[in-house]
Amino acid sequence: MLPFFPPDLFDDEVEELLDTVRRVATAPAQRFILGERTAAFERALREHTGAADVVACSSGTSALVLVLRAMDVGPGDEVVVPAFGCAPLAASVIAVGATPVFADVHPWTMTVEPYEVEQAISGRTAALMPAHMFSVMADMPALRQLAARHDVRLVEDSAVAQGAVLDGLPAGRWGEAGVYSFVQVKAFGTVGEGGVVVTDDAELGRLARMLRNHGQPPGRRFEHHLVGYNSRFDEILADVQLRRLPGLAARLERRAAIADYYTERFAPLVERGVQPPPPGREGRCHYVYALLVEQRDELRVHLAERGIGTHVYYPATLPAQQAFAPYAKAGRHWPHAELACARNLAIPVYPHLTDAQVEAVADAVCSFPGGPR
Ligand SMILES: *Cc1c(COP(=O)(O)O)cnc(C)c1O
């Protein structure tokens, strides 16, 4: 059996993990959040990304909330988000009191379509919040131009795209602020929850830093300049991530090599209704390798019968979800987002797959007869 979510992600690091817990737990300072390890981790990510500021916080979702609040997005404002994607895209906007406006996605990349974003801009639009999806970055050059032309803020949901680079600029630095998530399954996932705000705007960084700790300026305890949040970062996780950062590039390269191999093997399957993601390395992250399959459920069964686990991300569009439907324009449709929900099927792409396992997955997909519905 080859599970989609591997249970052994951290198996070869158990001793180091226990050592980290022991070191942080027995340190004389007894500092478990926002200490020197968190500061060192933020410094390391600043160097890694070239960003002016990196602010560690409790999750990718909360990083989005911190950014929206730091931009003063709130009641009466609209934020344009993709109709296809994960809940935080809509929920973070609603959490700050603003309204998400859903825009349709590109049928192949599944990232938000700039033309659709422009159609969704109104006099109340405060920000655009595109997201990178699975293995492909959103069309950030076009979205940057749009944001500038309409004088609205640009938040980059780069939660899944740490390590991706487009036109020489890392994911996370295309927006005025971006985010990364360290939840277990992400490419730089860890043994718990965490995230960061990444920004070249020193003022956004300063505000996010205050907001993550109940609106207190650093070092000024019980002085609340803003109504903030408890979105602090854990010292044990900071230590774990600092230790794992140097290996990230090799793990991302392994993911990319697996994706390259899959995409080459799957090119002939288009005729059978199986579409691999766009090839290449530019603007790619390989967090998830998602096929678009006309007979998606049949391929899922076909792979399960051969012991290969798969995953369907986002079986419904965001505006179709009970929680977010009240914010969606009545009678509107997002046909490409709906197709992505019906057709996406993700196959294993994690870095510790062996070559033999990768080949077995590819063979199993290639043996799918497919065909029109
Ligand atoms: C995972 C994810 C998030 C949220 O990150 P968490 O750390 O799970 O809160 C936000 N946006 C996208 C696109 C994601 O995939």
> Would the pLDDT of 373 be above 80?
no
Nearest CA residue ID for atom 6, ligand 1: 60
Phi then psi for residue 54, to 5 deg, are: -135, 125
| Known catalytic residue at 329 | no
> Would the pLDDT of 329 be above 70?
yes
Mean pLDDT of the chain: 96
The average pLDDT across 70-98 equals: 98
> Would the pLDDT of 372 be above 90?
no
* 219 against 334, higher pLDDT: 334
Over residues 162-191, the pLDDT tens digits come to 999 999 999 999 999 999 999 999 999 999
The average pLDDT across 301-305 equals: 98
Tokens 């956004």, located at residue? 204
Question: Token pair for residue 193?
Answer: 């929850």
Q: Which of 65, 66, 160, 198 to mutate to test the pocket of ligand 1 (most atoms within 8 A of CB)?
A: 160
DSSP letter for each residue of 86-115: -THHHHHHHHTT-EEEEE-B-TTT-SBPHH
Within 8 A by CB and 6+ apart from 128, the residues are 79, 80, 117, 121, 143, 146, 147, 152, 153, 154, 155
| pLDDT of the residue at 98 | 98
The average pLDDT across 59-83 equals: 98
> Would the pLDDT of 218 be above 90?
no
Domains and CATH numbers, the chain: 11-246 (3.40.640.10), 248-366 (3.90.1150.10)
- The catalytically annotated residue of 106, 153, 186, 336 is 186
Per-residue burial over 319-358, b if 16 or more Cβ lie within 10 Å, else e, is bbeeebeebbeeeeebebbbbbbebbbbbbbbbebeeeeb
- Long-range contacts of range 213-218, CB-CB < 8 Å, 24 or more positions apart? 213/34
Q: Which of 132, 156, 157, 231 to mutate to test the pocket of ligand 1 (most atoms within 8 A of CB)?
A: 157
Give the pTM: 0.97
Tokens 């991300």, located at residue? 313
Q: Which of 181, 190, 237, 314 to mutate to test the pocket of ligand 1 (most atoms within 8 A of CB)?
A: 181
DSSP letter for each residue of 148-198: HHTT-EEEEB-TT-TT-EETTEETTSSSSEEEEE-STTSTT--SS--EEEE
Quote the ligand 1 centre to 179 CA distance (angstroms): 9
Residue of 285, 266, 283, 282 lying closest to 274 (CA atoms): 266
> β-pairing, 53-57 with 195-199?
antiparallel
Maximum Cα interatomic distance, the chain, rounded to a whole number of Å: 66
| pLDDT of the residue at 370 | 83
Nearest CA residue ID for atom 12, ligand 1: 159
Q: Round to whole Å and give the CA distance between 262 and 257.
A: 9
Q: Angle of helix 355-366 relative to helix 235-266, nearest 10 degrees?
A: 50
> Would the pLDDT of 222 be above 50?
yes
The average pLDDT across 237-251 equals: 96
Over residues 108-157, the pLDDT tens digits come to 999 999 999 999 999 999 999 999 999 999 999 999 999 999 999 999 99
Tokens 């916080």, located at residue? 57
| pLDDT of the residue at 332 | 93
Quote the ligand 1 centre to 90 CA distance (angstroms): 11
Quote the ligand 1 centre to 26 CA distance (angstroms): 32
